[in-house]
Amino acid sequence: MKESISLTWRRIPERYKMIGTRCTTCNSNFFPPRSVCSKCRRKGKIEPFEFSGNGKIYSFTEIHAAPAGFENQIPYVMAIVELDEGTRCTGQIVDATLKDLKIGDRVEGTFRKLLSDDPEGPIHYGFKFRLKK
């Protein structure tokens, strides 16, 4: 699988450091980043906001039929994580299988390879989650 280089490059702040956005009008945090506040609309003032990567598992599932580029990783766990700063995001839980996890488990951010294009293409990195012990 190939991902556009410009898309990867644009998402580096979001993927490497979990930089989302925050509306300073209503104090809502958004991840992935939003450029308009869903509550305040045009009255909202949006600025970058770095998430800690800490949160808890809201829901999770194990992937056995992976999309292109992720075939070598099966089986792997995808989860909806409730971030401590107050929003939910989707991410992979690494170093774990279904039997290791339950809803509500604490997780922390980690830095991993997301996918790598063919042997001559770029490698895409970003955040994933792991159980906090």
Partner 1 sequence: MAGIVGYGAYVPKYRIKSETIAEVWGEDPNRIQKGLGIMEKSVPAIDEDSATLSVESARIAMERAQIAPDELGAVYVGSESHPYAVKPTATMVSQALGATPNLTAADLEFACKAGTAAMQICMGMVDSNMIKYGLAIGADTAQGRPGDALEYSAAAGAAAYIIGKDDQSLAIIEDTFSYTTDTPDFWRRTKADYPSHGGRFTGEPAYFKHVQGAFNGLMEKMDEKIDNYDYFIFHQPNAKFPKAVAKKLGVPKEKIELGMIVPIIGNTYSGNTPLSLANVLDKAKPGEKIFVTSFGSGAGSDAFSIKVTDKIEEKRKKGYPLSHFIENKEYVTYAIYAKLRKKYKGM
- Where do contacts with partner 1 occur on this chain (CB under 8 A)? 12, 16-17, 72-73, 94-95, 110-114, 122-123, 125, 128, 133
Q: How far is the CB of 11 from partner 1 (least distance, A)?
A: 12
Q: Report which secondary-structure segment, H or E, holds 10.
A: helix 5-10
Give the whole-angstrom CA distance, residue 23 versus residue 122.
34
Amino acid, single-letter form, for residue 95: D
With tokens 């989650």, the residue in question is 129
- Least separation in angstroms between residue 122's CB and partner 1 is 8
Beta-strand relationship, 46-50 and 28-30: unpaired
Beta carbon nearer to partner 1, 12 or 36: 12
- The distance of closest approach from Cβ of residue 24 to partner 1 in the complex, given in angstroms and rounded to an integer, is 21
